[in-house]
Amino acid sequence: MFMRAPDSGLKAVVSVSGAVLDAAVRFAEEIVAKLERGSLTEDDALRLAVEMERRFVKVHVHNVLSSRNERLAALLAGLRGQDEIHLDRLRECLRRLRSERKQHASPA
């Protein structure tokens, strides 16, 4: 969405809380470290994806609340909305995976 926005609309400075952004980046770095140590199960990968998306939703929410430019705030709100859709899809994938595992684990 940012790539489609006109440059003039992005000149407003958005205040991002250092703590919010730092926490999200640290979590992303932890995921990379886990991947470097070995492979993740499907369940682990989905749980990490859900948590990472949840943390970055917080960054977008903070940006929306901090923006002084209405057009930029609307753009960021759209990003947050897309994050929420993505988060819901990841959670649904995780539920399905767990449900499938339970079905296969149950005696027939």
**Digit-coded pLDDT (tens) for 3-40:** 455 555 444 444 556 777 788 788 888 888 888 888 77
Contact 45, 83 (CB under 8 A): no
Tell me the residue ranges of DSSP E strands in the chain.
Answer: none
CA distance 36 to 100: 28
The pTM for the full model equals 0.61
Q: What is the pLDDT of residues 32-90, one digit of tens each?
A: 888 888 877 788 888 888 888 887 777 777 777 777 778 777 887 788 788 889 889 98
- Determine phi and psi for 14, rounding to 5 degrees: -100, 130
Q: List the structure tokens of 63.
A: 């940006």
Residue 98's closest CA among 90, 11, 54? 90
